[in-house]
Amino acid sequence: MNSSLLLAAGCVALAVLSPTRAADPGGFKPLFNGRDLTGWVDVNTSPDTWKAQDGLLISTGKPIGVMRSEKQYENFILHIEWKHLEAGGNSGVFVWSAGTVPEGKQLPKGCEVQMLELEWPKLNPDKDGKPRPDAYVHGELFGANGLTVTPDNPRGARSMSFENRCRGKGEWNTYDVVCVDGTIKLSVNGKFVNGISHSSVKKGYLCLEAEGAPIHFRNIQILELPPGRATPEETAPVVSSAR
């Protein structure tokens, strides 16, 4: 996908999505209806991990695992708003995911769009006891459990945002995620700051992640774009809706 088309897609996302236009704006469709978990399938968490309450999708964060979308997506724009409730909270959304968890793992193959609370680096020091870099926090993108990508802003195999824009516990963050033909561009709170390309998988499930800490989601919407170049080898296997 060329840069002008990516820019146009991103502009569509940011132009039509606002707090005053949450009901199916411009072709966007809700992935969460605000009442129940219709459209989502538990993969490896528990009946108590996820619930709908007061228009919010609430995760306890425990046990660590994911729930996935009922269907696969190839080219799309995802809008999702989230906030952590505790210092150092950890979560994320997987795109182009397998929708299953490999044996011995807790999380699926997919490209993770990281959602970390601002104090995570300080509360999770490296093996030498030093705080990890703030680059972890502000919407890192990386391939997990076998999915590979080329980072726009490399931090090892990961791509870090070039500007720190996430807000801390108790505050809402907005991600707009443009995913087309193996390329992802991420807007954090109203500005595109990160991306990857050459994803080894270009079509798959969306997964919401529970990773030890409570997190709230709201206004989860998707605009499906025309199909592209995903081959059968670049498409996640279809899995049953039953757990």
Superfamily of domain 3-18+40-228: Exo-inulinase; domain 1 (2.60.120.560)
pLDDT score at 240:
78
- Residues of the chain falling short of pLDDT 70: 1-26, 241-243
pLDDT tens-place string over residues 188-238: 999 999 999 999 999 999 999 999 999 999 999 999 999 999 999 999 999
pLDDT score at 242:
54
DSSP symbols for the chain: --HHHHHHHHHHHHHH--TT--SSGGG-EES--SSS-TTEEESSS-TTTEEEETTEEEE---SSEEEEESS-BSSEEEEEEEEESSTT-EEEEEEEE-SS--TT-SS-SEEEEEEE-TTHHHHS--TTSPPPPGGGTTT-EEEETT---EESSEETTEE--SS-----TTS-EEEEEEEETTEEEEEETTEEEEEEE--S--BBEEEEEE-SS-EEEEEEEEEE----S--GGGBPPP--S--
pLDDT score at 26:
56
- This prediction has a pTM of 0.89
pLDDT score at 241:
65
- Rounded distance, CA 130 to CA 87, Å? 18
pLDDT score at 155:
95
pLDDT score at 22:
41
